[in-house]
């Protein structure tokens, strides 16, 4: 690249814009469709497709366990996977603040390319905008993704009495580690975001023939938000056994510091499933065989006791409602 910092001219649709696109994006995202450099990219499709989008505004841009680039690919691909789809094509759009370092942008692009590889997905169309200093915070990335549905019937409204709730991983690592970094909390441990591409885990589960009723990654709003959506959509109650919900001691420590509960903290590589009771052990076995979901646990069960409510049952036999989170929690977590 002929320049070290992004200037307004890099977003003008002309020479400097082209230099940036070729020098960074085409270089790292290279594939035959993208390189046609058309207003829109063309691909051949058949059957049911899944379509999803997310904008990423996380701060800091580089964090333990990932960066905004990795997250922008995981986030959108995971949303496709949660609907039983194999990620196929992505768009990538950048809003960059004037003065942003080209070397940081390249690091982000390299992360994106690496994560695309893990998902077997191609970035086939994109856009770059540059805004003046103080009109963004470094870089914001939007990705939209298209996937081929290979597993049908997943739905938030399909839960029924007796279904088992499984979480794939210990919860709250993304939220807790971002918070710790922002606040400069020094930890002796290696607390890192769980940011990961879940296609690698769920491909095998989809192909195994087990029955999954509901599936969702517990991103913003955490475990609480997912389960509260499910009980409302399915008009059921979920009772959770508090002692079975995996939470690392590092996350627990940050939560005490924050005065928050790990249930509401964001995850970026952790998902929740509802499966028929007869399938629970098999699903657990499949998940535990993969390092990304080695901590998978059965955490609760669906019944009808308190319709529309998530109930947290302690080992002392006490019960309380786990509500949909509200308030600011942690802004710019993804």
The interface with its own copies within residues 54-83 (CB under 8 A) comprises 54-57, 78-80, 82-83
Among 196, 274, 299, 330, binds its own copies (CB under 8 A): 330
- 119 near its own copies, rule: CB under 8 A: no
- 93 near its own copies, rule: CB under 8 A: yes
Whole-angstrom Cα distance, residue 238 to residue 95? 41
- 261 near its own copies, rule: CB under 8 A: no
The interface with its own copies within residues 300-329 (CB under 8 A) comprises 324-329
Residues in the chain: 334
Choose the stretch contacting its own copies; rule: CB under 8 A; options: 42-50, 196-204, 254-262, 295-303: 42-50
- 4 near its own copies, rule: CB under 8 A: no
Q: Least distance (Å) from its own copies to the CB of residue 285?
A: 25
Q: Least distance (Å) from its own copies to the CB of residue 190?
A: 26
With contact defined as beta carbons under 8 Å apart, do 283 and 212 qualify? yes
Among 4, 32, 44, 256, binds its own copies (CB under 8 A): 44
Q: Is 316 helix (H, G, I), strand (E, B) or coil?
A: coil
Based on CB atoms, which residue is closest to its own copies, 315 or 326? 326
With contact defined as beta carbons under 8 Å apart, do 55 and 220 qualify? no
Based on CB atoms, which residue is closest to its own copies, 125 or 170? 125
| Tokens at 220, concatenated | 């913003």
What does residue 77 show for φ and ψ, rounded to 5 degrees?
-60, -45
The interface with its own copies within residues 183-212 (CB under 8 A) comprises none
Closest by Cα among 194, 206, 198 to 283: 206
Count of residues interacting with its own copies (CB under 8 A): 85
Q: Least distance (Å) from its own copies to the CB of residue 227?
A: 12
The interface with its own copies within residues 151-180 (CB under 8 A) comprises 155-156
Q: Least distance (Å) from its own copies to the CB of residue 215?
A: 9
| Tokens at 277, concatenated | 């009771």
The interface with its own copies within residues 265-304 (CB under 8 A) comprises 266
Dihedral (CA of 284, 290, 296, 301) sign: negative
Q: Is 237 helix (H, G, I), strand (E, B) or coil?
A: strand
Based on CB atoms, which residue is closest to its own copies, 138 or 300? 138
- 32 near its own copies, rule: CB under 8 A: no
Among 110, 131, 185, 313, binds its own copies (CB under 8 A): 131
- Burial (CB count within 10 angstroms: exposed 0-12, middle 13-18, buried 19+), residue 192: middle
Based on CB atoms, which residue is closest to its own copies, 4 or 190? 4
- Where do the H-state alpha helices sit in 241-306? 249-258, 280-288
For strands 85-97 and 122-131, give the pairing: parallel
Whole-angstrom Cα distance, residue 227 to residue 202? 20
Whole-angstrom Cα distance, residue 248 to residue 169? 10
């Amino acid at each position: 690249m002929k320049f070290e910092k992004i200037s307004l001219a890099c977003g003008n649709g002309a020479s400097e814009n082209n230099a940036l696109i070729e020098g960074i994006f085409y270089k790292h995202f290279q594939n035959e469709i993208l390189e046609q450099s058309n207003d829109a990219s063309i691909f051949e499709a058949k059957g049911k497709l899944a379509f999803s989008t997310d904008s990423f505004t996380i701060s800091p841009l580089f964090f333990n366990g990932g960066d905004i680039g990795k997250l922008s690919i995981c986030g959108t691909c995971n949303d496709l996977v949660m609907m039983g789809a194999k990620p196929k094509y992505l768009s990538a759009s950048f809003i960059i603040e004037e003065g942003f370092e080209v070397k940081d942008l390249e690091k982000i692009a390299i992360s994106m390319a690496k994560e695309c590889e893990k998902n077997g997905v191609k970035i086939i169309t994109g856009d770059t905008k540059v805004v003046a200093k103080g009109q963004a915070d470094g870089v914001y990335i939007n990705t939209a993704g298209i996937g081929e549905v290979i597993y049908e019937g997943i739905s938030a409204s399909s839960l029924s009495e007796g279904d088992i709730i499984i979480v794939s991983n210990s919860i709250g690592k993304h939220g807790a580690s971002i918070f710790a970094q922002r606040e400069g909390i020094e930890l002796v441990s290696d607390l890192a975001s769980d940011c990961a591409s879940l296609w690698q885990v769920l491909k095998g589960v989809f192909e195994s023939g087990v029955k999954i009723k509901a599936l969702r990654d517990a991103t913003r709003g955490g475990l609480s938000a997912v389960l509260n959506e499910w009980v409302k959509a399915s008009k059921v109650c979920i009772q959770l056994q508090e002692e079975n919900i995996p939470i690392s001691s590092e996350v627990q420590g940050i939560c005490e510091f924050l005065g928050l509960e790990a249930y509401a903290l964001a995850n970026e590589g952790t998902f929740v499933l509802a499966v028929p009771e007869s399938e629970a052990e098999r699903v657990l076995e499949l998940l535990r065989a993969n390092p990304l979901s080695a901590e998978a646990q059965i955490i609760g069960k669906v019944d009808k006791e308190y319709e529309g409510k998530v109930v947290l049952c302690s080992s002392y036999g006490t019960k309380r409602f786990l509500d949909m989170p509200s308030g600011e929690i942690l802004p710019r977590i993804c």
